[in-house]
Structure 1
Amino acid sequence: MQLTRLLRSSLFSSAMMAAIATLGFATESAYAAAPMAKTNAPGFYRSMLGDFEITVLSDGTVALPVDKILTNTTPEKVGKALAKYHQQAPLATSVNGFLINTGSKLILIDSGAGVFFGPTLGKLQANLKASGYLPEQVDEIYITHMHADHIGGLVDGDKAAFPNAIVRIDQHDTDYWLSQANLDKATGDAKGSFEKSIAILKPYVQAGKLKPFEGDTELAPGIKAVASHGHTPGHSIYKIESKGQTLVLWGDLMHVAAVQFEDPSVTIQFDSDSKAAYAQRQKAYADAAQHGYMVGAAHLSFPGIGYVRKEGKGYAWTPVNYSPLP
């Protein structure tokens, strides 16, 4: 009788173990079958500059055929430079905006592409909200230049996406891109660029909220526009200073880190004046390397901020070390 009970107990235990093993296997298989998410969401990156809070806002990325659009080089040289950094064309290229909270003003530098560059861009507004701010809170918007991937986010349909903001742009750019005469004589893609610029700025012009400036100008305490004309007629960079710390935002002074730091002479088809753009890039690189301040750029890989150092005949880029806290 005792033997019978032991056998039954043993058989029961074996059955239970088999069932548990089967259940475990089934559970493991179910987890392994979960669909792949296949997305990243960088959103925003926040840090402090003295007393200023800096929030980098991702507008998304766009795949650029950089081997075809970079100039004063060859596709072979571009491909070799990209491969050195385990990259290839078309290159996923970031579009970054920069939000500065000075404590008294909320200032956005560049607005992203809005709906003008397809579904992979136009995320700046959502990431602004995710970062804890609302479009209505933005006091001023400083534009580096009037290409659509920098001004497209200013509008939502035909309305101002930032209803309370004053927009500041160098007069050379507004004179060029908002000119009806330039639109009338333009052809092809160039005509479209003029049409977009006029439509995008229209609600701000009508509301009296477009306030151009000219050249080197202090726009707010601690924030200065610095003329760097070349990429466009009025391209500007912005120098931000607080408590002895400096951040210079380059706009489109450069586009492809893997290529243009090592060889600053490489230009891009989008330059209005490639020689002037190259000269401004050389000047900015040298100044950043000499003084060791932080820089940020619209198309450097998100969050697009870091430091430049001289290396050989060219320069090298060191991204900021990630920190979960500002």
Structure 2
Amino acid sequence: MNSFPNFFAKARSCYQVKVGDIAICAINDGFDYLAFTDIVSNDRDLCQRLHENEFRSVPPLLTINCFLIRSQDRLALIDAGYPTPTKTSGKLIEHLDSLGIQPADIDTILMTHMHADHSAGLLDAEERPTFPNAKVFLHKDELAYWLDEGAFARASQVGQDEFRLVRRVVRAYGERIRQLDAEAGQIFPGVRLVETPGHTPGHAAWLVESGSESLLVWGDIIHFPAIQFALPDTCVVYDVDANAAADARKKILAFAAERKLLVAGSHLDFPSFGHVIASHTGYRFVPEVWHPTE
């Protein structure tokens, strides 16, 4: 059965929802692998049981999603995934092409943060901008962190490689890098930044609003869906500030639950759209039921 041709790979890698007059398409860039040792928790065994009780694979998979926004004359991406396609990731450009969209068509890129699985796709194999006509928006504290020499010196060797990547992105895009904070207002009609610092200092989510409808797209609020909704204090080793990351997660989950927001996430199971519901001392995620769109 595993050798059967995968005719439907492209068809299942893009999924669109409408938020008022704005269309948002989840695009799966692929996946990576996690490990239970990536979890920062006082009870890692409980975390592993929660994961396995949902019949999830071991080792855990990390879904990698990007999001395409169509709004009037704007064509924007939230995050850029990995670059050159590999066996498991780097599929964004291929899937954009299947939608009839070329990198030069993208005018705006909204970054949740600059870890490699979100930002490496901003550069092509020759270190040139993958999206030659796009402005790149990110929180000002995010850029300051990756350009800080003290933070670079404290990072591991792998971490320093990510610092070098971000600095190459900054050089490549130059004046098209735009820094924001929570006071920036709408980047274009219906889209604004929401601060969620902790995973990285300038980690952000993006709120899309049109008419009476809203969608909150977050980055690395959740890595382990079976664990971190139920136990929102649970962090991962990739968090720059674990305490702040847990605080941001609890605030954003409470915000989404209280407002009954439609949400989507970089590492939620594709296509990732759904709602957050308070449950016991934590939360649970209710995936949106599929329905046809225009």
Single out whichever of 106-115 and 291-300 deviates more from structure 2.
106-115
TM-score normalised to structure 2 length: 0.93
Alignment of 1:115-264 (within 5 A): 115=84, 119-157=87-125, 158-180=127-149, 182-183=151-152, 186-205=155-174, 208-218=175-185, 219-264=187-232
- Correspondence for 1:71: 40
Aligned mates of 1:127, 1:118 — CA distance in 2: 14
RMSD: 2.0
Determine which structure has more spread, i.e. the larger CA radius of gyration.
1
Does the CA-based 8 Å contact 2:196-2:252 persist in structure 1? Answer: no
Size of the aligned set, in residue pairs, is 290
Structure 1 gaps, min length 5: 1-31
Name the CA shift for 1:182/1:279 in 2 (closer, same or farther; >3 Å): closer
Alignment partner of 2:182: what SS? coil
1:55 CA drift (Å): 0.7
Alignment of 1:50-65 (within 5 A): 50-65=20-35
Name the CA shift for 1:38/1:51 in 2 (closer, same or farther; >3 Å): closer
1:112 to 2:78 alignment = no
Alignment partner of 1:168: what SS? strand
Aligned mates of 1:248, 1:254 — CA distance in 2: 13
Deviations 1:288-322 (A, max 9, x none): 11111100100001111110111111111111112
- Correspondence for 2:249: 281
Alignment partner of 1:303: what SS? coil
TM-score normalised to structure 1 length: 0.84
Aligned mates of 1:223, 1:236 — CA distance in 2: 13
Aligned structure 1 segments of 4 or more residues deviating by more than 4 angstroms:
184-187
More helix by share: 1
- Correspondence for 2:72: 103
Does the CA-based 8 Å contact 1:176-1:233 persist in structure 2? Answer: yes
- What is the aligned-residue identity percentage? 30
Aligned mates of 2:108, 2:229 — CA distance in 1: 31
- Correspondence for 1:4: none
